[in-house]
Amino acid sequence: MMNPYFTRRQFGVLLIFSLAAHAEEAAFAGRKLDFEIDDGFEKASAADISAVLKSAGGALWKHCPHTRWEVPGFYIFHNEKYPITVFDHRSNGRIAIGLTTQGPFWSQFAYQFAHEFCHALAGHANDWRAAWIKPKKANHWLEESLCETASLFALRDMGNTWQTEPPYPNWKDYAKSLSEYAAERIETVKKEKGENFVFKKWFAENETSMRENSTIREKNNIVAMELLPIFEQNPAGWESVTFYNLGKNRDPEKTLACHFADWSAAAPAEQREFIAKLAAVFGI
């Protein structure tokens, strides 16, 4: 007959396994990208929007296995003027993100959300409460450019993964349109650059204007084109973005070199080589 009672040692072993299982379950739950979709989107169901956004965010999120994520999820609302990530969390702890897309335009949903999710990584992950948000930062153009990089990266990743693992089996054919959407945007940037384009020369001529206005999209996209190959060669670098705003130097007018040094100091040692590769793009 089996003994219905446990020895102290047996109980201790069972307790350890139970706690480990609960900890693993909690950690997994904390890594879920959960969405609450407002009803302001026309001709697109909340379930379908959630599926697209989870795929777009997941393209980056799967490369951030060590990131602490304390928020329960996202609240997605329609914003007519422009996509936006609100820094202040909602009363239920969710991050509010506004998207302009209407209708079942999945490529556009993915493009906009990947950009805003990158902002969320930079401003809401790890020690986000200590992140420096105000005053306006002269190097904020770099975060905007990283977020444009994230959009292209996510679309290209989804274009590959949806060929075999779409959110729904009948969405497999959308993989081509995702890849084409990214290719069209890349081709547009190539045409804007023109022949004989030299990035460092261009950057020397345009850095001042970007420091004054961080969201000149044509310029953000040119920078993104330089950064995209680096992230695609080493996608684990996306986790470095979670330390982007955690540097100790609070000077809003600090130089780009100072910003990279600050970013590198805030990041774990294993991310510093990657950050150095990004800095090298700008001659730092």
DSSP 39-55: TT-TT--HHHHHHHHHH
- Distance CA(260)–CA(247), nearest Å, equals 9
Q: Report whether 54 contacts 33 (CB < 8 A).
A: yes
CATH code of the domain containing 161: 1.10.390
Structure tokens at 139: 């190097």
Residue 125 in any domain: the answer is yes
Q: Positive or negative CA dihedral for 243, 245, 251, 256? A: positive
Q: What is the mean pLDDT of the chain?
A: 88
Number of independent structural domains in the chain: 1
Residue 138 in any domain: the answer is yes
Taking only the tens place, the pLDDT of each residue in 158-207 is 999 999 999 999 999 999 999 999 999 999 999 999 889 999 999 999 99
Residue 19 in any domain: the answer is no
Q: Report whether 18 contacts 56 (CB < 8 A).
A: no
What is the reported pLDDT for 10? 40
Residue 156 in any domain: the answer is yes
Residue 25 in any domain: the answer is no
Res. 239: pLDDT tops 90: yes
Range of the domain at 40: 33-281
